[in-house]
């Protein structure tokens, strides 16, 4: 079902319709509203709700609304008719009535029927889908129609597509204002992180339909990605199990997964779009392998709980949540995403002079390869030159300054300050890990 309501009233019924919309404003505000011109103007003035205005009834507005009903765009039509006066555009009104009858779309011609429709809507779930049409290597149009087909029987869906002019953050802010029951993000990790980051602290549950290259957050949450990822992800949302997880802020910007300083940032920078298209998630491993040869060590100053530590490092990873494939986040073999703490993994060189090998860079490389192995089999690497700790807040300064990647996006260079936001997000997950909605 789509989430659009159409509103029309003849002149002597317009005040009645404005009063009715005011009475049910909380429900109307969750839906996209369309109206014939004069009706729309009066409702907007009387309620402040945003209304998309068609032409006035006399100019063909009823026909425009009938066209949207025929396209399957309209959930219900509320058309307060004045039974005592006939109109010059009576044929248009008959077309609208006929189209509603054909497509089995509820049409209320008086307040009593309108109330029945609104009472039904009170108990319906309204979902906003923030959809990036150019994510991953799939076909955006096909993906969207599959998602609509799967979700429509279970919720009223409002779809927003990201464009060069309107980012996922902006669309999510708009969606939050209408108090939806849930918000669904569909795209690559960038889109998912942008929507999730904007939702921190709102308690609006987030559904994830991953369609990107790495799909790191979905993997970290255990959302099944095999064979039919869109179908599986939609089923997780339909099932309605939610779980509360932590989020974080990195230099005041939302962070859902992890921040990489040094090696990881350079790797992401190297994995070009062409490589990702050709190799998928493997692109990161290929780029990571190249970077192993080039990685420079750096001096880091790390501040935790007012204590300052100085270390020579190749990579620092600060993770809120991370899939096992995020090699350098796996200091203890697995990142816990609801412990109210960040997992900090520092790949450094061995500072014990007796064990210090002639080639510290080679040692750093060996460390990272060992960490990869440990991450893949989910055990603690327990290496002398990998430090792992958990903290709620951390500050890192590096010399020379190092690139920082947050949730797959380059955000600049050090210094960086990261703080965990405990229980910042509610997400739909498989299984019975939370209370069904
Ligand atoms: O005449 C109408 C519908 O038939 C209403 O049109 P207006 O909202 O433009 O007045």
Tell me the ipTM for this assembly: 0.96
| Active-site residue, selected from the candidate residues 62, 143, 189, 407 | 62
Residue 36 CB less than 6 A away from ligand 1 = yes
Task: Please state, in angstroms and as integers, the Cα–Cα distance from residue 376 to each residue in 74, 352, 369, 372, 379, following that order.
Answer: 49, 28, 11, 6, 8
What's the 159 CA to ligand 1 centre distance in angstroms? Answer: 27
Please indicate whether residue 100 or residue 390 has the higher confidence score (pLDDT). 100
Please indicate whether residue 357 or residue 92 has the higher confidence score (pLDDT). 92
Residue 39 CB less than 6 A away from ligand 1 = yes
CA-angle at 20, arms to 15 and 23, nearest 5°: 130
Please indicate whether residue 165 or residue 276 has the higher confidence score (pLDDT). 165
CB 19 within 8 A of CB 47: no
Residue 62 CB less than 6 A away from ligand 1 = yes
Nearest to 364 by CA among 348, 344, 381, 387: 348
The CATH code that applies to domain 4-122 is 3.40.50.1380
Mean pLDDT of 96-122: 97
- Write the CB contacts of 111 (distance below 8 Å, at least 6 apart in sequence): 16, 20, 80
Nearest to 423 by CA among 322, 337, 351, 343: 337
Residue 61 CB less than 6 A away from ligand 1 = yes
The answer to whether the annotation marks 395 as part of a ligand binding site is no
330-363 burial code (b ≥16 CB/10 A, e <16): bbbbbbebeeebbbbbbbbbbeeeeeeeeebbeb
The pLDDT of residue 348 is 74
Nearest to 375 by CA among 426, 313, 297, 315: 315
Do 258-420 and 126-239 have the same topology in CATH?
A: no
What's the 17 CA to ligand 1 centre distance in angstroms? Answer: 12
- Averaged pLDDT of the chain: 85
The pLDDT of residue 360 is 56
The pLDDT of residue 24 is 97
Which ligand 1 atom is the nearest neighbour of the CA of 36? 8
Residue 57 CB less than 6 A away from ligand 1 = yes
Please indicate whether residue 273 or residue 213 has the higher confidence score (pLDDT). 213
Query: Is 407 designated active site?
Result: no
**Can you state the angle between helices 111-122 and 14-23, rounded to 10 degrees?**
20
Mutate to test the pocket of ligand 1, among 61, 63, 78, 85 (most ligand atoms within 8 A of CB): 61
Residue nearest to atom 10 of ligand 1 (CA): 38
Q: How many CB atoms lie within 10 A of CB 101?
A: 10
| Whole-prediction pTM | 0.82
The pLDDT of residue 86 is 80
Task: Please state, in angstroms and as integers, the Cα–Cα distance from residue 428 to each residue in 107, 182, 204, 207, following that order.
Answer: 34, 10, 11, 5
Residue length, the chain? Answer: 437
The CATH code that applies to domain 258-420 is 2.60.200.40
Please indicate whether residue 74 or residue 325 has the higher confidence score (pLDDT). 74
CB 65 within 8 A of CB 8: yes
Cα–Cα distance, 72 to 209 (Å, whole number): 23
Residue nearest to atom 5 of ligand 1 (CA): 57
Domain ranges of the chain: 4-122, 126-239, 258-420
Q: Give the CATH fold of the 126-239 domain.
A: Rossmann fold (3.40.50)
Please count the CA atoms within 13 angstroms of the CA of 396 that sit on its side-chain side.
31
């Amino acid at each position: 079902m789509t989430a659009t309501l159409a509103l029309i009233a003849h002149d002597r019924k317009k005040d009645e319709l404005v009063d009715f919309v005011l009475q049910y404003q909380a429900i109307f505000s969750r839906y996209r509203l369309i109206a014939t011109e004069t009706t729309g103007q009066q409702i907007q003035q009387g309620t402040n709700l945003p209304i998309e205005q068609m032409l006035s009834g006399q100019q063909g507005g009823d026909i425009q609304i009938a066209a949207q009903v025929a396209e399957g765009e309209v959930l219900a039509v509320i058309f307060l008719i004045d039974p005592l006066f006939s109109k010059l555009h009576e044929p248009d009104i008959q077309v609208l009535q006929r189209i509603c009858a054909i497509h089995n779309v509820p049409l209320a011609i008086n307040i009593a029927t309108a109330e029945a429709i609104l009472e039904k809507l009170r108990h319906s779930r309204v979902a906003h889908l923030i959809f990036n049409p150019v994510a991953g290597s799939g076909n955006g149009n096909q993906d969207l129609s599959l998602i609509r087909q799967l979700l429509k029987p279970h919720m009223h869906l409002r779809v927003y597509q990201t464009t060069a002019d309107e980012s996922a953050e902006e669309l999510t802010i708009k969606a939050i204002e209408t108090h939806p029951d849930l918000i669904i993000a569909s795209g690559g990790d960038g889109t998912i992180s942008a929507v999730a980051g904007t939702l921190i602290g709102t308690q609006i549950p987030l559904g994830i339909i991953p369609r990107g290259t790495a799909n790191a957050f979905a993997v970290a949450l255990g959302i099944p990605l095999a064979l039919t990822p869109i179908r599986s992800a939609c089923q997780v949302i339909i099932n309605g199990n939610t779980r509360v997880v932590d989020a974080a802020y990195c230099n005041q910007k939302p962070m859902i997964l992890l921040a990489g300083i040094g090696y990881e940032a350079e790797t992401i920078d190297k994995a070009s779009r062409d490589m990702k298209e050709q190799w998928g998630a493997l692109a990161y491993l290929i780029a990571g392998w190249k970077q192993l040869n080039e990685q420079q060590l750096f001096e880091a100053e790390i501040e935790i709980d007012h204590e300052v530590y100085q270390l020579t490092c190749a990579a620092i990873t600060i993770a809120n949540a991370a899939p096992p494939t995020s090699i350098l986040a796996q200091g203890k073999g697995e990142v816990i995403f609801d412990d109210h703490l960040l997992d900090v993994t520092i790949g450094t060189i061995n500072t014990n002079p007796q064990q210090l090998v002639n080639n510290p860079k080679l040692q750093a490389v060996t460390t990272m390869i060992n960490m990869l192995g440990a991450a893949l089999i989910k055990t603690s690497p327990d290496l002398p030159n990998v430090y792992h700790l958990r903290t709620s807040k951390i500050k890192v300064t590096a010399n020379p300054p190092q690139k920082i990647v947050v949730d797959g996006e380059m955000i600049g260079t050090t210094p960086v300050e990261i703080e965990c936001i405990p229980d910042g997000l509610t997400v739909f997950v498989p299984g019975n890990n939370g209370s069904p909605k």
